[in-house]
Amino acid sequence: MRLKELHEKPEVIEETLREHKEALQKVEQLGLRPLSPLVRVTIWGLRLYVLFMVVIVIVNVIQNL
């Protein structure tokens, strides 16, 4: 729909916004799921990997100066 058509039919916008609000409420009701131990270990492994790679990049930059 074009902007002019939407301006002439505000009920379309209101319906879309209402659907969006309903979907948002459903998502908020779900809450957070607890992470499994494997997922926690994987996340911590990725964090350590990123830190390790940052150190490697810093060392390489310093060596090339």
Paired tokens of 21: 């609000």
CA pair distance 20, 7, nearest whole angstrom: 19
Expressed as residue numbers, the domain containing 40 is: 34-65
Paired tokens of 15: 């319906």
Q: Do residue 27 and residue 52 come from a single domain?
A: no
Per the confidence metrics, is the pTM higher than 0.85?
A: no
- The total number of structural domains that make up the chain: 2
Q: Do residue 21 and residue 41 come from a single domain?
A: no
Residue 3 has pLDDT above 80, yes or no: no
Q: Who has greater pLDDT, 53 or 8?
A: 53
* pLDDT for the residue numbered 2: 76
CA pair distance 1, 16, nearest whole angstrom: 13
* pLDDT for the residue numbered 60: 98
Q: Do residue 24 and residue 43 come from a single domain?
A: no
* pLDDT for the residue numbered 1: 57
Q: Do residue 6 and residue 17 come from a single domain?
A: yes
User: For 18-60, what is each residue's pLDDT tens digit?
Assistant: 999 999 999 888 888 899 999 999 999 999 999 999 999 999 9
